[in-house]
Amino acid sequence: MPGTYDAVLLAGGRARRLGGADKPGAAVGGRPLLAWVAAAVAGAARLVVVGPPRAADPPGAIVVREDPPGSGPVPALRAGLAEVRAPRTVLLAADLPFLRPAHVAALLDAAGAAGSGGAVLVDEDGREQWLAGCWPTADLRAALASYEGGSLRGLLGPLGPARVALPAGERPPWYDCDTPGALLHADRLAVPYDR
């Protein structure tokens, strides 16, 4: 459903387990992680990237910064949501190299069917992946207005999202690149898969 959602990509973490490297700018299969995730939400009316400006920022993206920089996902969501205009918001981490438009479409469909609660991706063990979901924008704003915690689970869980389970395979859509080993593994898998 082009134009019915905006996307907010959280790309401002400190990447401690990567030695402070610019994780969203790290290459997987010859493309920055941020580019893979941006391609998964190519149908977004607006693309908002929360983090420091970088060469890997997708063309046309609105780049904003959480306050203070590096303060975590809740302040980052707050900063990104200020730029959202669509009735639905797809919220994603910027390090999901195997997330594809079909996965985002499944989240959008589930969120539409679920009523006002949104939808969140769950991994093969049934754990919610709070940085891979779709939410009614008005509900996110209302939740943030009264939330004082720092946990996305604490913020998003009470919205009662639909849980979206997708096939895992060798390249699960929730695979994130938090360590050098995970990044190297993703790069090995991406080269034959996406070239």
What is the structure's pLDDT at 78?
96
pLDDT, average across residues 35-44:
96
Query: Of 140-144, 154-158, 178-182, which range is least confident?
Result: 178-182
DSSP 124-142: TTS-EEEEEEEEEHHHHHH
Is it the case that residue 3 has pLDDT exceeding 50? no
The residues that bridge with 28 in the sheet, in sequence order, are 31
- Please answer whether residues 72 and 93 qualify as being in contact, where contact means their C-beta atoms are separated by less than 8 angstroms: no
What is the token pair recorded at 73? 């996902």
User: CA-CA distance, 164 to 150, in Å (whole number)?
Assistant: 24
Measured on CA atoms in the order 22, 176, 27, 5, is the torsion positive or negative? negative
What is the structure's pLDDT at 112?
83
pLDDT, average across residues 102-127:
89
pLDDT, average across residues 126-140:
96
What is the structure's pLDDT at 121?
97
DSSP 39-69: HHTTT-S-EEEESS--TTSPTT-EEE--SST
What is the structure's pLDDT at 1?
42
What is the structure's pLDDT at 14?
58
What is the structure's pLDDT at 15?
53
- Please answer whether residues 49 and 61 qualify as being in contact, where contact means their C-beta atoms are separated by less than 8 angstroms: yes
Q: Residue 6: helix, strand or coil by DSSP?
A: strand
Q: Is 1 exposed, middle or buried (0-12, 13-18, 19+ CB in 10 A)?
A: exposed
Phi, psi dihedrals of residue 97, rounded to the nearest 5°: -70, -20
